[in-house]
Amino acid sequence: MDATRKQILIIDDDDGIRHILRRALEDAGYAVSEAADGAAGLKRFREAKADLVITDIIMPEREGMETIMTLRKESPDTAIIAVSGGGCGGADYLAVAVKLGAVRVFRKPFSLAGVVGAVREVLEGEEAPEPKGTA
């Protein structure tokens, strides 16, 4: 990865979501790595810290809430964006994600432009951004 570009880690069990997010974020100038679940994501994060983590909530191995709590404990300054399809409870999951430390939340299906804009705002914009999103 290019050390001069901001590093983003995408954690999602859906290959398609990871692929489209990766492509959009790389096109926007970010260096991106991926993991298919929370356990693999935390391992990858520990090997090469990211400036921002985008994590799904409902995943096998280690779900997103636990992943967010671990990231907050190990790296409190790392920004986290949470995404969830989550069915009828999706909005509830995202509300909890904000309480656990996510700075932005998006419900699937989400707008790629919205996610890329949120990434730009969080990484290049404000200090301590207020939680916002489409929960």
Q: Residue 135: its pLDDT value, please?
A: 47
Q: Residue 86: its pLDDT value, please?
A: 65
Its domain, for residue 31, covers 7-133
3-state DSSP assignment of residue 41: helix
Q: Is residue 51 included in any domain, yes or no?
A: yes
Could you tell me the CATH number of the domain that includes residue 123? 3.40.50.2300
Q: Is residue 1 included in any domain, yes or no?
A: no
Determine if residue 99 is left, alpha or beta; phi over 0 gives left, psi from -120 to 50 gives alpha, anything else beta: alpha
Give me the number of domains the chain comprises.
1
Q: Residue 114: its pLDDT value, please?
A: 96
pTM: 0.89
Phi, psi of 38, deg, nearest 5:
-60, -40
Q: Is residue 99 included in any domain, yes or no?
A: yes
Q: List, for the chain, all residue ranges whose pLDDT scores fall below the cut of 70.
A: 1-3, 86-90, 126-135
Q: Is residue 2 included in any domain, yes or no?
A: no
